[in-house]
Amino acid sequence: MGLNEMMKSEGIESKDFKEVELKEINRTNELEGEELKERVKLEKSEIKSLKNLNNSYTMRKGNIIRKKGELKVNMMKKYISLNRNRNKIIEIEEKNYMKWKIP
pTM: predicted TM-score of the whole model, two decimal places: 0.16
Q: Which domain holds residue 50?
A: 3-101
Sequence-ordered alpha helix ranges (H) in 1-103: 3-9
DSSP characters over 26-37:
PTTS---SGGG-
Q: Give the residue among 59, 61, 96 at the shortest CA–CA distance from 81.
A: 59
Q: From edge to edge, which strands make up the β-sheet containing 89-94?
A: 19-22, 47-52, 55-60, 78-82, 89-94
pLDDT digit string (tens) for 27-54? 333 434 443 333 333 332 333 443 333 3
pLDDT digit string (tens) for 51-88? 333 333 444 334 444 444 444 444 433 344 444 444 44
Q: How many domains does the chain have?
A: 1
Beta strands 62-67 and 39-41 are antiparallel
